[in-house]
Amino acid sequence: MSGPAGDPAGPPVRAARPGETGRRSRPLIGITGYVEPASWAVWRGVPASLVPQAYVRSVTAAGGRAVVLPPDDLDADVVDVLDGLLLAGGADVGPERYGQPVDPRTEPRPDRDAGEWALLAAALAVDLPVLGVCRGMQLLAVAHGGSLHQHLPDVVGHDRHRPAPGVYGAHPVRFAPGSRTAAVLAGVDRVNSYHHQAVADPGRLTVTGWADDAVAEAVEDPARRFLLGVQWHPENDDDPRPVTALVRAARGS
């Protein structure tokens, strides 16, 4: 198997970190961040590195220590001090990364693509536990040779996956029996939703979850320690078990 930037075959054993003398009380989980205009106190429309607090809250509730990672394509050595990586949702993955022209409705963020591509390659190289949420799942698929539907309503004929700006949809979901996804989410039959793109081809990953309209809702790589992508937003759901599973894998339990 190969991944972005020449991911080596098979999950290698992670080397000890310099100066490491024992296990942290909480595993360190990197959350990929945005750079967006933001307003707080007296500041209005100032470019800021941020993520929705729901991601931080869900990692903390699961027993992890959240660290926000702004887009940075200069190096990915921060992976050396992380125990897990959460690829957050957000803007669209640039279609040049899967060989398609840009649809007018696609809204890429090249800075995020570059920084997250490098982080993911480094994480895969040391078999770091990885969870991809929404855009993060799509990035996982593209990084493993897959492609996306650039505007999902053109494919499924409805807007239920993103019914209105800032409004989550909800829909039934099913998981492949025997998959890691099914084990993590036993009993779940409905999830929230906010996306206008979706995985068309998972590449070398395995699709293990589907919406009722056959849209891919989960992907995984069962050969790795933990690599899971979910199309919905568990950080804003009543059932955050994908985040909990990431933290447990990062802890080694």
From the candidates 134, 149, 195, 217, which is the catalytic residue?
134
C-alpha angle with apex 118: 58 to 134, nearest 5 degrees? 40
235 is catalytic: yes
144 is catalytic: no
Measuring CA to CA, which residue among 210, 64, 212, 48 is closest to residue 131?
64
Which residue in the block uniquely carries the two structure tokens 């990692």? Answer: 59
H or E element in which residue 54 lies: helix 53-61
Task: Give me the DSSP letters along 105-138.
Answer: T--B-HHHHHHHHHHHHHHHHTT--EEEETHHHH
Encode burial over 9-29: b for 16+ CB neighbours within 10 A, e otherwise.
eebeeeeeeeeeeeeeebbbb
Q: Which amino acid is at 119?
A: L
116 is catalytic: no
CA separation for the pair 209, 177 (Å, rounded): 10
CB-facing half-sphere around the CA of 72: CA atoms within 13 A? 14
From the candidates 116, 217, 220, 235, which is the catalytic residue?
235
Q: Which residues are known catalytic residues?
A: 134, 233, 235
